[in-house]
Amino acid sequence: MSKRYKRVQNIKSSKWSLHLNIGVIIFLCILLYISINGIIYVTRQKVSIYEITNGKSEITKNIITTGVAIRSENVINADTSGYINFYSKEGSRVKVNDIIYTIDESGTLSKLLNDAIKNNQALDSKNISEMKEDINDFVTNFDNKNFSEVYDFKYIIESDLIENINISALDTINQSLSLDGGNAVSINRSTLAGYVQYYTDGYESINADALTKDLFDETKYKKNTIINGDSIESGKPVLKIINSEEWKIAFELTDSQYNEYKDYTAVDVYFPSEKIKTSAYFEIKENNGSKYGVIKLSRYISTFLNKRYIDIEILGDTVKGLKVPKTAVIEKEFYTIPKDYMTYGGNSDDSGFQVETVKDSETLVKFVSTDIVATDENYCYIDTENNDIKKGDILVKPDSQERYQIATVGKLKGVYNVNTGYTVFRYIHILSEKNDYYIVESNTKYGLQIYDQIILNASLVKSNQVIFK
C-alpha cells in the first residue's frame, strides 16, 4: 500500500516539475526578448525627423549707401548786375517764355514788390495747402545731423510766398519806374521748360563716365543758394533749370559688391527718407581703378531736386524655396544614363529602360521599370543599389539600334524622405544657403514638397532603412 502511494506521489511530482520548467522557459524567453529590445532601444542612435517648410534667402546682399545725383542741369547766368527777384516756386515746373527772374540796379523793385505783397489779399486755400505740405514733409524727414536742412526749408517757404505775387503787378511797377525816370527792370524769361532751382554747387556738369572719388566726399560739398534780393554780378549764376525727367544716381562699389552685381542690368531701389521703392536700370562704371554703380531713373526727380547726396538702398535678390537643414543633406553616387534611353513600359506610366539579355544563345530585349532619382538636360540618374538595373547592363535606345552599357556614375545631393516609414533618397536642387540651412527648389518632379518629412541627420541612416517615428 505504501509503495503504491509513493509511486503516485512521484508521478504527481514529476508532472508539476514538467509544468514548472516549461513556464519558466517561456517566461525567461519573454524576459530575454524584452531585455534585448530594451538594450537596443537605449543604445541605438536617435534619429530625428524634420518637416519641410518654406524659406527664403538673399542671393545678393543689399547695398546701403549714399549716392550722387546726376541730372540734366542748365545753369542760367545773370545778363546784368543788380538785385534779383524770382517769380516761381523753387522746384516748380516752368514753361518756355515764363518770367522766372528780374534784375534791377537800384533794388527799388524789391521794395515795391514787398509793398505789393503786403497790399495783396491773403493767401488762397491752394497756397496754404501747398505750404502745409512742405512743412509736413520737412518735419517728417528732418534729421538733426543735417541742420543745414533748416536753411533749405526756409528758402522753400520763401519760394512759396513768392509764387503768390501777382505777375501783372510787375508790369505796372516797371512802367512806374520808367515814367519816374528810374532804372528799367531787366525781365528774364525762361528759354527752357523744366524744374527751376535757386542754388548751384559746381556739380551741374558731372556725368557718369567721369566719376571720381572726390565727388563722394560730402565734407567738400558746398551749396550756394541764391536768395531774393541778393546782389548779383553780371555773368554769375542765378538759377538752374532741370529740363529732363531722366536722371541718375552714382555710388561707390566695393570689390565684393562689384562681384555680386557685375552681371546685373536692373535693380530695385529703396529711398528710406521718402519710403519709396522703385526699379531702375543699372550699370557699372570704372575709372582710375575705382568701381561705381549707376542707376538710371525716369521717375521721382522732382522729389529730390534740392538734394545732391541721396541715401539709397539697392535691394539684393531674394530666392524662395524649401528650407532644408544642412545636416539633412547627403551626397551619393548614381549611375548616369543618357536621357533619350528612358522609355515607358506598355500601357503603364512606369519609367524604365530596354535591357538587352542573352538566354540560350538568343538575344532578347525586355522592358525593366526602375525608379528615376533625378534627371538633367542630358542624363537620368538611377540608384547604384538598384537590383533591377546594374553596372554592365546593356541598354537599347527606343526606336534605334544604338546601345549603351551602364558604367559611369555621377554624384547628387539629396535628403532621406521618410513619409512612407523607410528612407528614400530625394534629390535636391540647391538655390541658396543661409547659416545652417539650404534653400532648395520646390515642386520638382523627383524632389521635395512642403510638409515632407526627412531625416534631420542623414549620416545616421542608409537607403531603405525602416524608421520608427
For the segment 197-205, the average pLDDT, to the nearest whole number, is: 95
Mean pLDDT of the residues in the chain: 83
The answer to whether residue 169 is domain-embedded is yes
In the prediction, which pLDDT does 149 show?
Answer: 60
Domains in the chain: how many in total? Answer: 2
- HEC string of the chain? CHHHHHHHHHHHHHHHHHHHHHHHHHHHHHHHHHHHHHHHHHHCCCCCEEECEEEEEECCCCEEEEEEEECCEEEEECCCCEEEEECCCCCCEECCCCEEEEEECCCHHHHHHHHHHHHCCCCCHHHHHHHHHHHHHHHHHCCCCCCHHHHHHHHHHHHHHHCCCCHHHHHHHHHHHHHCCCCCCEEEECCCCEEEECEECCCCCCCCCCCCHHHHCHHHCCCEECCCCCEECCCCEEEEEECCCCEEEEEEECHHHHHHHCCCCEEEEEECCCCEEEEEEEEEEEECCEEEEEEEECCCHHHHCCCCEEEEEEECCEEEEEEEEHHHCEEEEEEEEEHHHCEECCCCCCEEEEEEEEECCEEEEEEEECCCCEECCCEEEEECCCCCCCCCCEEECCCCCCEEECCCEEEEEEEEECCCCECEEEECCEEEEECCEEEECCCCCCCCCCCCEEECCHHHCCCCCECCC
**Of the listed ranges 152-166, 297-311, 391-405, 417-431, the one predicted with least confidence:** 152-166
In the prediction, which pLDDT does 142 show?
Answer: 61
Bigger pLDDT: 344 or 292? 292
Instruction: Tell me which of 294, 315, 336 is where a domain ends.
Output: 315
Local confidence band at 371 (pLDDT 50, 70, 90 cut-offs): confident
The answer to whether residue 7 is domain-embedded is no
| Judgement on whether residues 207 and 276 belong to the same structural domain of the protein | yes
The answer to whether residue 232 is domain-embedded is yes
| Judgement on whether residues 382 and 270 belong to the same structural domain of the protein | no
| Judgement on whether residues 267 and 385 belong to the same structural domain of the protein | no
For the segment 260-285, the average pLDDT, to the nearest whole number, is: 95
Q: Look at residue 53 and tell me whether its pLDDT is greater than 90.
A: yes
| Judgement on whether residues 225 and 284 belong to the same structural domain of the protein | yes
Terminal Cα-to-Cα distance of the chain (whole angstroms) = 68
Cα 137 to Cα 193: distance, rounded to the nearest angstrom: 26
The answer to whether residue 107 is domain-embedded is yes
In the prediction, which pLDDT does 337 show?
Answer: 94
| Judgement on whether residues 211 and 333 belong to the same structural domain of the protein | no
In the prediction, which pLDDT does 77 show?
Answer: 96
The answer to whether residue 9 is domain-embedded is no
| Judgement on whether residues 277 and 328 belong to the same structural domain of the protein | no
Q: Which domain range does residue 330 map to?
A: 323-345+372-393+405-460
Instruction: Tell me which of 296, 315, 334 is where a domain ends.
Output: 315
The answer to whether residue 104 is domain-embedded is yes
Give just the sign of the alpha carbon dihedral 368, 372, 377, 378.
negative
Local confidence band at 126 (pLDDT 50, 70, 90 cut-offs): low
| Judgement on whether residues 106 and 189 belong to the same structural domain of the protein | yes
The answer to whether residue 366 is domain-embedded is no
| Judgement on whether residues 149 and 294 belong to the same structural domain of the protein | yes
The strand pair at 63-70 and 309-315 is best described as: antiparallel
Cα 178 to Cα 185: distance, rounded to the nearest angstrom: 9
In the prediction, which pLDDT does 300 show?
Answer: 95
The answer to whether residue 12 is domain-embedded is no
For the segment 117-142, the average pLDDT, to the nearest whole number, is: 61
In the prediction, which pLDDT does 253 show?
Answer: 97
| Judgement on whether residues 303 and 416 belong to the same structural domain of the protein | no
What percent of the chain lies above the pLDDT cut of 70? 76
| Judgement on whether residues 310 and 377 belong to the same structural domain of the protein | no
For the segment 118-139, the average pLDDT, to the nearest whole number, is: 61
| Judgement on whether residues 380 and 269 belong to the same structural domain of the protein | no
| Judgement on whether residues 82 and 227 belong to the same structural domain of the protein | yes
